[in-house]
Chains A and B, each alone.
Chain A
């Protein structure tokens, strides 16, 4: 079973998207803040990371930067999933090697699930 680490502080989003991905057969692990997310990324070695940007304790971009500097997990695909749409954040995230940058408000739950499946190479 493929593992997804979902770093997101909104409990509602954790529930809806997390549950939808579980229904598709993924093993979804939840982290509610940046520090916890980074710790689980290192220990759990997920196949994909879904990362929010505005997070308690450690900002999403810092989490991404540290993931990219860690030799064990630096190749893990990271999808940014946020409601921030500033050019600065998008550029920085892509510069740091984010696979895709998704603005939550622009996608339906189904679209996001489809994007995740595509990033995982599943159909």
Chain B
């Protein structure tokens, strides 16, 4: 096996695992080695001086053994942490692969069906249905990849999370406007109200936009034929509260506790064939938890949902 000098650099090795130095096995082993060396020298010196006192020898041996035990325990624990992180990563990769496979299969099979001899021979009136499948599943994969990238960037701190004071009302209007075509096509309306003296919020502008895109997008897509969505901004003490109400399908009671978990989708959403990655609310919670925001909701299956979040105000 080739030996690389960089393997000696413990700090570089530990950085690779992305865990604190005191939890890094290489670092702990080095400390343990140094400790054994120092202990041996001290023990030798003490032994030479107090060799005739067996109680002192016993005491030193016990102390050294205890220290080694503690270090060994920390090492085992850090290995467990590494193994757990590794297991979670594997599980994540498994779930992501499954989530990507579904639209990929749809794409492949729709294309293969369009190319099949039977289809070519038959009446081609249905062709658009299959092109729709291809388009929708292409979008679905794109959405999933975008969400996964957002999560990775959020976790690595690579998204612009620099806080600034801005007008939340303007950002809400901008996001509503992005959905304009969908709203018009489905004859839906967003009623938006905000008090005139609303203070600015102090948060990250791009991250708050992601939060709004997800919450407003959800309210629109889970509305299921209901035509009105209500958005209210208000000031409560030193925070600005955003509230969005829809009269859509709502979230079943037994699913509510999982709603912020990654890849979780409420059963009724899956059943109604509303496309989603199961990552939107996970991202929203991740952002708000990391930026001094709070989120809460009330929902009733078949009646609709009310999602709220608050951000610190700054006039």
Contact = CB atoms under 8 A, between A and B. Distances in A.
Interface of A: 9-13, 15-17, 19-20, 23-24, 32-33, 56-57, 83-84, 86, 104-105, 108-110
Interface of B: 94, 98, 101-102, 104-106, 108-110, 112-113, 116, 118-119, 122, 129-130, 133, 136-137, 267, 270-271, 273
A109 B112 contact: yes
A32 B270 CA distance: 10
B130 A104 contact: no
A109 B113 contact: yes
A16 B271 contact: no
B112 A110 contact: yes
15 contacts: A10-B106, A12-B137, A13-B105, A16-B106, A20-B118, A23-B122, A56-B267, A56-B271, A83-B98, A83-B105, A108-B108, A109-B108, A109-B109, A109-B113, A110-B116
Contacts of B106: 10, 12-13, 16
The 3 closest A-B CB pairs, nearest first, are A12-B106, A23-B118, A109-B112
A17 B102 contact: no
Contact of A17 (B109, B118, B119, B129): B109
A11 B136 CA distance: 11
A9 B109 contact: no
B104 A12 contact: no
B97 to A, nearest CB: 8
Chain A interface helix/strand/loop/mixed: helix
Given A20-B116, A105-B104, 13 more contacts: A9-B270, A12-B109, A12-B137, A15-B130, A16-B112, A16-B133, A23-B116, A23-B119, A57-B267, A83-B98, A108-B109, A108-B112, A109-B113
Contacts of B102: 10, 83
Contacts of A17: 109
A83 B101 contact: yes
A32 B272 CA distance: 10
B267 A20 contact: no
Nearest to B99: A83
A84 B116 CA distance: 27
B104 A16 contact: no
Contact of A33 (B116, B129, B271): B271
A13 B106 CA distance: 6
Given A32-B271, A56-B271, A15 B108 contact: no
A34 B271 CA distance: 11
Contacts of B133: 12, 15-16
B4 to A, nearest CB: 36
A17, A19, A33, A108 — most chain B CB neighbours (10 Å): A19
B104 A56 contact: no
A10, A84, A86 — most chain B CB neighbours (10 Å): A10
B190 to A, nearest CB: 28
A38 to B, nearest CB: 16
Nearest to B98: A83
Nearest to A23: B118
A57 to B, nearest CB: 7
Contact of A104 (B101, B113, B116): B101
A24 B273 CA distance: 28
B253 to A, nearest CB: 16
Nearest to B121: A23
B112 A19 contact: no
A74 to B, nearest CB: 28
A44 to B, nearest CB: 21
Nearest to A20: B113
B119 to A, nearest CB: 8
Contacts of A16: 106, 109-110, 112-113, 130, 133
A100 B98 CA distance: 20
A11 B267 CA distance: 16
A86 to B, nearest CB: 8
Contacts of B105: 13, 83, 104-105
